[in-house]
């Protein structure tokens, strides 16, 4: 089967975008990685409407990317803090890749907005695609081949 003969309804990129393909969803996840936990903090930092924020948080919790943990300030009603789940933490390399691409192709002339460095040695980090074979070589898009996997279905016209 060739690419154009494969039904893309169950494409993993498509399924991932169903969950996090909207701009605000990934920005909420980015903020969660950077320690933002509470609704008011997300709203203040991102500057989006209450309706959009509530909708995106509900969808991210429903998809298992975030979990809501109740907390209560003295004299106030119970509210939720939002924490990344293991599924949400698996988006970390995706966000780093987007940041890396953004800096490379749309960055500010004075340099990156954020410097992401290895805590232990202080050196910059970057996302790469590695071969899982003995070589462990970094690969580019022309170093790989793509073929249908077990879940591939023929396109029905």
Report d(CA 82, CA 58) in Å as an integer: 10
CA 137 to chain centroid: 24
State the alpha helices, DSSP H only, in 6-144. Answer: 12-20, 23-33, 39-46, 50-62, 86-89, 92-106
Q: Tens-digit pLDDT profile for the chain (157 aa)?
A: 787 888 888 889 999 999 999 999 999 999 999 999 999 999 999 999 999 999 999 999 999 999 999 999 999 999 999 999 999 999 999 999 999 999 999 999 999 988 999 999 999 999 999 999 998 999 999 999 988 888 888 888 7
Q: Which domains does the chain have, with CATH numbers?
A: 3-143 (1.10.10.10)
Residue 12, helix vs strand vs coil: helix
Sign of the CA dihedral with 51 first, then 66, 127, and 118 last: positive
């Amino acid at each position: 089967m060739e690419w154009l003969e494969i039904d893309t309804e169950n494409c993993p990129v498509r399924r991932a975008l169903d969950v996090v393909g909207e701009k605000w969803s990934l920005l909420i996840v980015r903020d969660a990685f950077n320690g933002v936990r509470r609704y008011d903090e997300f709203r203040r930092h991102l500057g989006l409407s209450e309706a959009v924020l509530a909708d995106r948080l509900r969808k991210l919790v429903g998809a298992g990317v975030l979990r809501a943990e109740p907390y209560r300030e003295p004299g106030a009603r119970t509210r939720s803090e939002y924490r990344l789940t293991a599924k949400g933490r698996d988006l970390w390399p995706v966000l780093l890749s987007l940041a890396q691409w953004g800096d490379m192709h749309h960055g500010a002339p004075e340099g990156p907005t954020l410097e992401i460095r290895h805590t232990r040695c202080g050196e910059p980090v970057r996302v790469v695609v590695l071969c899982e074979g003995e070589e462990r070589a970094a690969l580019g898009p022309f170093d790989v081949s793509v073929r249908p996997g077990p879940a591939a279905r023929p396109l029905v016209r």
